[in-house]
């Protein structure tokens, strides 16, 4: 995978993986294409272990993803959250809002 790319992979039914760089350079195009990758499962897990970089734009995209899925009746669990993203959650004072979808 080239630098500054993001990849969405289906691992199994209801299990997905984000890999690459989720930042201000990749988020806009990736979000515009969400109809191609947006899951339709009622319960899903999203593995973030393979994210090489996350900035505040990536954090906001994940928040919007969780909100959109919740509005459709889906529940989301984030797995293997990178320390860099946990720090952003904490510094932005949004960690309490996400406790239901963090592992």
Residue 43 lies in a domain: yes
Residue 24 lies in a domain: yes
Domain carrying residue 80: 6-101
Residue 76 lies in a domain: yes
Q: ∠76-81-83 over CA atoms, to 5°? A: 155
In whole angstroms, give the CA distance from residue 64 to residue 62. 5
Each residue's pLDDT tens digit in the chain (103 positions)?
A: 445 789 999 999 889 999 999 999 999 999 988 888 877 888 889 999 999 999 999 999 998 888 888 888 888 889 999 999 989 988 988 766 665 565 5
* Total number of domains in the chain: 1
Residue 1 lies in a domain: no
- Quick one: pLDDT at residue 1? 44
């Amino acid at each position: 995978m080239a630098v500054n790319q993001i990849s969405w992979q289906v691992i199994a039914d209801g299990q997905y993986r984000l890999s690459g760089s989720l930042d201000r350079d990749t988020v806009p195009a990736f979000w515009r294409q969400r109809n191609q990758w947006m899951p339709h499962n009622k319960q899903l897990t999203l593995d973030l272990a393979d994210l090489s970089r996350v900035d505040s734009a990536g954090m906001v995209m994940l928040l919007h993803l969780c909100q959109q899925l919740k509005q459709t009746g889906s529940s989301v669990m984030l797995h293997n959250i990178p320390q860099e993203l946990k720090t952003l959650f904490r510094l932005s004072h949004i960690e309490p809002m996400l406790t239901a979808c963090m592992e």
